[in-house]
Amino acid sequence: MKLAILAGVLATFLTGSASTATAADLTLDLSTRGSGGRIAVAVYRDAESFRRGEGPVASRMVDRTGAVTSVVITGLPPGRYAVAAFHDTDGNGDLTLWPIGLPREAYGFSRNARGRFGPPNFSAAAFALPAAGARQAFALR
């Protein structure tokens, strides 16, 4: 009986350790031309969330540190992801638009994907995040 309990505890411990070991870090190097402000980042795992711009698996708002700002997102499960980011120069926390609906602040997507009339589709921006982690660089324009 004690052996069965010990085996169960050990299995639980090893399973918990294995899930921690499969967490990956994503490093983003975001280049911007503007100065000051903050950079908003959202990481998406599926096409529907990415298309709607809702329900990111991770998001960050960081100070712009120079021409290239690095952001590290830790603890993501390996898989396919797409990233959207914008340079919040006016500090309002939202992507500011011109009256005709076009973005007034610089924005970009992983793999430097661009959409025709709006954001690109998920497959154009998506990349693989292996268990070892990955680095993605893209420009906010």
Q: Which residues contact 19 (CB under 8 A, 6 or more apart)?
A: none
pLDDT tens, 103-121? 999 999 999 999 988 899 9
Q: Are 62 and 38 in contact (CB under 8 A)?
A: yes
Alpha-carbon span 78 to 82, nearest angstrom: 13
Task: Quote the pTM value.
Answer: 0.83
Q: Are 41 and 71 in contact (CB under 8 A)?
A: yes
Q: Calculate the alpha carbon distances from 46 to 23, 52, 91, 95, 97 in Å.
A: 18, 10, 28, 22, 25
Burial code of 53-63, b = ≥16 C-beta within 10 A, e = fewer? eeebebebebe
pLDDT per residue rounded down to tens, the chain (141 residues): 433 333 333 333 334 444 445 899 999 999 999 899 999 999 999 999 999 999 999 999 999 999 999 999 999 999 999 999 999 999 999 999 999 999 999 999 999 999 988 899 999 999 999 999 999 999 999
- The two tokens of residue 66 are 């120079």
Q: Are 80 and 45 in contact (CB under 8 A)?
A: yes
